[in-house]
Structure 1
Amino acid sequence: MKTGENFISGALILILALAMAGYVLHLPEAKFERVNLRLKFQYDYVVEAYKPKWLSSGDVGSYPSSHFIVDVPWISSNKSYCAAICLQMVAYKYGIKEPIEYFNFIMGFTYGAYLGTFNKRVYMIPGGDPFVGYINASKILNFKYNLLVTSDRRLFVDACRYFVSKNIPVILPVNMSRLYNLSFFAPHFELLIGYEGDEFYLYEPVQSRCIFEFGKRGYGFPADLVVKAVEEMSAAYKLPWKYSLIYLVKIGEPSKDLRRILAVNGNLQVGRNFTLDSSGMYFGSYAFKVLADYISKGKVGINEIIWSIMLAYTSRTDNAKFLRERFSDDKSVLEAAGYLAKAANVYGRIIELASDGVSPEDEKEIISLLKEASVYERRAG
């Protein structure tokens, strides 16, 4: 995949990195002269990259006491592709019946990586920013993208019900742990498909059993619990609003030319380094190389990042398969797919080595393998 196209995802997952760096972002009513330039930069990035629109009471009309959308299938997978699966469900409503690998591709959701440190803990995410991914995917799908935000709880709840009552499914960024009573923060996306009384009904996109069904109500949760989960997601990433929702509306036919996305995802694969004050953040291929260095220096244990390696194994395998199928006549893309497959093989070997304890010899091999994977990740770009 060739690099160089200055598409919106060139910013990669910078907002995630800045949030993990622990910077406090003031709400919009804060005066910029009262905050430093670093905070202003973060706020400006969110506004430019995410394209939010602040909700007003004029955006929300009346709605009935209950409503369920019936023309959207409940799709759920045992792979951690939550944001892309939500898009897949919405797209199916508009007649776009593509596999999940297609949506991962047009979002850049499973391409590239991020490595950073927050509160002395190392985080590794083998993928791109889903918010920016929705914007990029909307251009391919010919959808109108809407990110509506507010810090008014009542207005947010009314907006959720109003859009659902108009048969518009709503994508919600949430802290999954709040919904399922887990002990750790878990960023996640859910699809709001209905409501009745004080209950919101969600299509869960990731679970142990795979689902493809019409006419299901999904999982019911108290509306207050869902609202709290949304608020915690915003707070964790220091977003300048408490509540947000995403909805997409078809305005035309999807583009059949996916080649411009090759450049976008190529940039994600290659990546870059980013330094703000003393905080170093590493993207794409650099993330895997620096991860090897961190392990060798004892900054992070292999067991702490093995989930990320497992996700990298799954996503690179799926990405390689998709590229080979969709670009079977493009030699350079097939070459990139080959490198993704090689990276996946490396991650598979790391998973194997870590499956029953990690000896010093295993650790040395894993460090070497991560450096090898970094080369393959870069060449895939």
Structure 2
Amino acid sequence: MSKNNIMNTYSRVDVTFEKGLGSKVYDINGKEYIDFVSGVAVNCLGHSHPAIIKALNDQGNNLIHISNLYWNTNQLDLAKKLCDYSDHDKVFFCNSGTEAVETAIKLARKYGINNGTSKKNEIIFMENSFHGRTMGALAITGQEKYQKDFMPLMSGTKSSKFNDIDDLKNKIDENTCSVIIEPIQGEGGIIPAQIDFLKEVKKMCEKYNALLIFDEIQCGVGRTGSLFAYKKFEVIPDVICMAKGLGGGFPIGAVLATQKAADAFAPGDHGSTFGGNPLGCSVSLAVLNELIDNGVLDKVDEKSNYIINNLLILKEKYEVLDKVQGMGLMLGIKLSIDKSKLISKCFQKGLLLVGAGDNVVRILPPLNVTKEDIDKFIYILNEVLNELCN
């Protein structure tokens, strides 16, 4: 099997997968792995979930794509469901998280011009953040390693220290059109925002008539134990960027906005050929139905507590495990040894994990993960830590 035709943009592990079921995936040799990467928080219902398969089959036999020059029923139903379960009024559909961020950037810039002057175009982002790899998203990503080879980036951006309200107060002014924040920094190392910090950011945005944007691409769609991460942080943003788990593995993204924010856009300001297509929206509706109506979300906190308690036992046992952080089923373990060693050994034993930030290993199981698979995860992790420490 030739791998020479794929562009060299990922440091891939030398394994080829061909099948998945629930929390498990199988490579071309039939080896089984417990998947606690979940496509990096994408496969919220695991692999080959019956509800997703049914939605793909049923809608595939009906209508796959229709232009946004016309309405389609699934798009209308999905928009209504998202708005009904949030504090927001309007939705724009796209295909990915980075596209959602690009939409939010344009919405913020347009809002600034409509509600100020041509100078009200500055976007404040957080240090250590990650919002995507397109040129606009890169410009508001607070990690130089992703930016350095693609300069010059979009102008009109400022960085501010995460969880440091004094620094933000020194940066925000009348020219600020928006502040963008991940409620939990994912790529940066599973670092939650402080509730008091977010409340003060909201006040500053209201003072300067700037939009508060939450990037919930990784931490949203039930990852924290609520459908929207902002519900856990007691702050309502003006705009929310969504993707990843929204389609449970099928590409779909969305931007939710309050009426005042959404009103900035007019026909022609933005678009997406495939955004909100009937097939993607059908799958997303099936995912939300499982999460909300069939009770998957109701069990996330219980599973989270079970994992955290077991990780804390391992922390007492192994000094190399410094810290357990995050919430819901978006957790991280901070190590005092090279994270790649642990990830590699876990892979050899049939457990998939992914790193983040400063020596943090992310734990991102499907939201419907079973206790049996959690126990297998803990068993393998204990084995690997024991080998690394002895």
Q: Which TM-score applies when normalising by structure 1?
A: 0.27
Whose helix proportion is higher, 1 or 2? 1
TM-score, normalized by length of structure 2? 0.26
